[in-house]
Amino acid sequence: MAAWSFGLALAGYAAFAARVLLGWHGGARARLLLAALVATVAWAAVCLFVLPTPSHVALLVSNIADATRYAAWFAFLASLLREAPAAVDAAPVRARPLLPLGATVAVSVALVAGVLLSEGTPLTGSPWLQGARAGYLLRLCIAVSGLVLIEHVVRRVLPQMRWGIRPLAVALAGVFGLDLYLYADALLFGRLDPVVWVSRGLANALVIPFLAIATARNTGWTVDLHLSRRAVFHSSALLISGTFLLAVAAAGYFVRYFGGDWGRALQIELLFGAALFAVLAATSGRFRSGLKVFVSKHFFSYRYDYREEWLNFTRTLSTEGSTQSVQERAIVALADLVESPGGALWLRGELHGYAQAARWNASASAGVEPADGALATFLLRTGWIVDVAEFRDHPSRYEGLAMPAWLADFPSASIVVPLMSGADLLGMVVLATPRTPIELDWEVRDLLKTASRQAASFLGQMRATESLLEARKFDAFNRMSAFVVHDLKNLVSQLSLMLKNAQRHRDNPEFQADMLATVEHVVDRMNGLMLQLRVGATPVDNPRPVDLEAVARRVCAAKTGPQTSVVLEAAAAVMAVGHEDRLEHVIGHLIQNAIDASSPPRQVRVRLGRDGDRAVLEVRDRGVGMTPDFVRERLFKPFQTTKATGMGIGVYESSQYVIGLGGGIAVESEPGEGTCVFLRLPLVQAADAPAPPAIREPAT
């Protein structure tokens, strides 16, 4: 055990001293630090290689090495205290010159104590001479002096500078405190405890990470030493795991020893439960987040490793082949910066303000923030990060801000991050409450602002790319139209030639048969061409009142066939604003889509009614259905379709026409359950006709 304990101390301090020497920049304080490390290496080497053969000489060498180690650390602490800026509660300045003298006296006392203690061997059980107790008392005083010196150093520095020396103070206080316990116990019982004495080596090795952190924090020590946050995180996790396992082992031993006949069974149950708890903690995002915040708060001057955070942020945004959309990745990238478990993204649309475009571990919301709403106006004017809890407690800090009602759909909302693209507000991200409490100080806010601008630029670029692709598709579609027009020209030529000859050969039976065949061929060709193009163009005349019941009944009758049943439930006098031929085309397209999505025998139900000042036409089928993601992201975009032979133009054209009338189209669909489409149009009049059945509309 002694070999392992002092061997680890020797290896650890030797490696640490070598690293300090490699980062050497010169300076008195750096020389004192290096001297303290070298003295500790010498002490560990003496304890490892000399004391296994006990003798008076070996004990004397060991005590001298120990005294030299104390003297080196005392000198280093004295140098810190000599140049420390005085704090408000600092001791009088006249006490400072006594400290270097005290360190010198401590060295002399340690040497005397070493001579006295050399009368016996600490690893044997033989009684001690009376002079040995005096040596214990002197060594006890040295340990107390070390603790007092640490207290003076910590108390004299400014509060904002204590974070730099706190790890050093904790490490040396642990070393001096263990010696205090060792020699107090020896003074009480007249002999050293071999187990405590052997554990000194391992205890000194365990404080090396604290010394390294303090060295990395204090660049004024003229030592270039960088400590990775990841290394501190994993070291802290390892230390916590080791402490937990030791505690479980001790508890298991206690249960087995005092548990009687049930002792072994209780020990097994305890170990089993501890293993489950350890696995749960290791896989818990809340535990990892809390440990990251603890490490950043107590071991580093800044919360973030900006290089690592920016690389992770960029990697998350630009990951290719991910199952998440670009909008979802933007949410995840911002949420990871504050350890948030979820969030939602609102983006500006063309007509309806800011609507939810994506979500990650959050509920769907139909809420829309108007472009001139209170939240959008505040974010556009200030560009601030909004802390929801702070706004709730201190609304005066956010002058002119009022939280929208749709935010109630997101009860865990904690942070609202604006997505600013230049001077324009592209959207906003609402983040859920972080896994561990995080103070939104200037550092967190600045990082979120910078990252949100990067995310906004990325999303804006993706939107511009999508618009360019759509424009190119329309260009290709227009080029295809030229070929279709050419075919139509040929068909018109055939019909013109047939009409020209009809006057001379209209009584010829062969000509009549040929004419019928030609007309049938032209009709088939034109139907094929019309499937490739949008039917009709934007009407030039103004909208007029249209009897939707008559139009719907005519379309339903035309779509009914041997394997298809289209059932209409409608009330009379449902008059809407529009163009009869275009509305007939829109309704026919919706019904045809329902028929195409169903398997024989096909059944489509059409209901026509009123909802306030709107006429509502419902088309329902039990076909294959669509996923919510397809409905939200692709259905109303051009050239997006689930049909093998479709072009994805019909729904887009119908939606644009209906929106132009002041109405809208909404869809409810589930894969395998069918689809229900709601067509809403402005209602011209609702005469004294029987009230139609109420039609439930979807939330979105």
For 405-425, what is the mean pLDDT? Answer: 85
User: What's the pLDDT tens digit per position in 244-272?
Assistant: 766 777 776 676 666 666 666 666 666 67
**Which is more confident, 492 or 556?**
556
pTM of the model: 0.41
- Tokens 């019982």, residue? 189
Instruction: Label residue 418 by pLDDT band (50, 70, 90).
Output: very high
Q: According to the model, what pLDDT value does residue 86 have?
A: 46
Q: Would you give the end-to-end CA distance of the chain in angstroms?
A: 71
Query: Residue 96 above 80 pLDDT?
Result: no
d(Cα 344, Cα 356) in Å, to the nearest integer? Answer: 7
Q: What are phi and psi of 38, to 5 degrees?
A: -65, -40
Residue 543: partners with Cβ closer than 8 Å, 6 or more residues away? 577, 578, 579, 661
Q: According to the model, what pLDDT value does residue 690 have?
A: 42
Of 101-110, 155-164, 175-184, 481-490, the one with minimum mean pLDDT is 101-110
Q: According to the model, what pLDDT value does residue 429 have?
A: 92
**Helix spans in 300-357 (H):** 306-317, 326-337
Task: Give the max Cα distance, the chain.
Answer: 147
Q: According to the model, what pLDDT value does residue 255 have?
A: 66
Domains of the chain in sequence order: 2-225 (1.20.1070), 315-462 (3.30.450.40), 544-686 (3.30.565.10)
Query: Residue 542 above 80 pLDDT?
Result: no
d(Cα 347, Cα 426) in Å, to the nearest integer? Answer: 6
Instruction: Label residue 122 by pLDDT band (50, 70, 90).
Output: very low
Query: Residue 87 above 60 pLDDT?
Result: no
- Average per-residue pLDDT in the chain? 75
Of 486-490, 500-504, 623-627, the one with minimum mean pLDDT is 486-490
Query: Residue 386 above 80 pLDDT?
Result: yes
User: What's the pLDDT tens digit per position in 570-615?
Assistant: 877 788 888 887 788 788 888 888 888 888 888 889 999 888 888 9
Query: Residue 124 above 70 pLDDT?
Result: no
Query: Residue 100 above 60 pLDDT?
Result: no
Q: According to the model, what pLDDT value does residue 131 have?
A: 54
Residue 423: partners with Cβ closer than 8 Å, 6 or more residues away? none
Instruction: Label residue 457 by pLDDT band (50, 70, 90).
Output: confident
How many percent of the chain have pLDDT more than 90?
3
Of 18-32, 90-104, 342-356, 664-678, the one with minimum mean pLDDT is 90-104
Query: Residue 439 above 70 pLDDT?
Result: yes
Closest CA to 21 of 226, 232, 225, 228: 225
| DSSP codes of every residue in 186-233 | HHHHSS--HHHHHHHHHHHHHTHHHHHHHHHH-GGG-B-----HHHHH
Q: According to the model, what pLDDT value does residue 139 have?
A: 80
